[in-house]
Amino acid sequence: MASYKIHYKLSHANGVLVDESWDEPLLFEIGDGQLDPCLERCVLDAKTGELQTFLLSASEAFGDSFDEAFQVMQRGDFPNDLKIELDAAVEFKTPTGDSYVGCIDSIEADDIRVNFNHPLAGADVSFQVKVLENS
């Protein structure tokens, strides 16, 4: 597999920073899961040694937000010691052992609405990358 050493900055299209690796370069292999595939494609298209900016629409980046990914759960479905608050990320285990993370979207009495969309779903993003090394 191809490996890369990069500096990057991921931002919402409005400029709000989401994640960056500017102080400490990221070393990864294509397909190892450290970067989303949409960002890996940008790295593959980038020229080594040049700072490049890729503007990605929501559909090109992390996908659109889907209403079906919002689930209303009961307060009793959550661990008693969990502090339930807006925008908190909560990990859920399925009976088969798979894990899913959702963000608390709204709280109305005992009804807790959880968003299981990717946190950047529906958002246009800017991905700045400088490939330092690739092999």
114: pLDDT strictly greater than 90:
yes
Locate CATH 2.40.10.330 in the chain.
67-115
Mean pLDDT of the chain: 93
Check residue 14 and give its pLDDT: 86
Check residue 79 and give its pLDDT: 85
In whole angstroms, give the CA distance from residue 34 to residue 97. 22
Check residue 17 and give its pLDDT: 93
Locate CATH 3.10.50.40 in the chain.
3-63+121-134
Residues 6+ apart with CB under 8 A from 19: 8, 9, 10
| HEC secondary structure over 108-131 | ECCEEEEECCCCCCCCCEEEEEEE
Question: Strands, E, within the chain: which ranges?
Answer: 3-12, 17-29, 51-56, 70-74, 89-93, 99-108, 111-115, 125-134
CATH class of residue range 67-115: mainly beta
pLDDT band at 111, cuts 50/70/90?
very high
Check residue 95 and give its pLDDT: 86
Closest CA to 110 of 81, 73, 83: 73
Digit-coded pLDDT (tens) for 46-87: 999 999 999 999 999 999 999 999 999 999 888 888 889 998
CATH architecture of residue range(s) 3-63+121-134: Roll (3.10)
92: pLDDT strictly greater than 90:
no
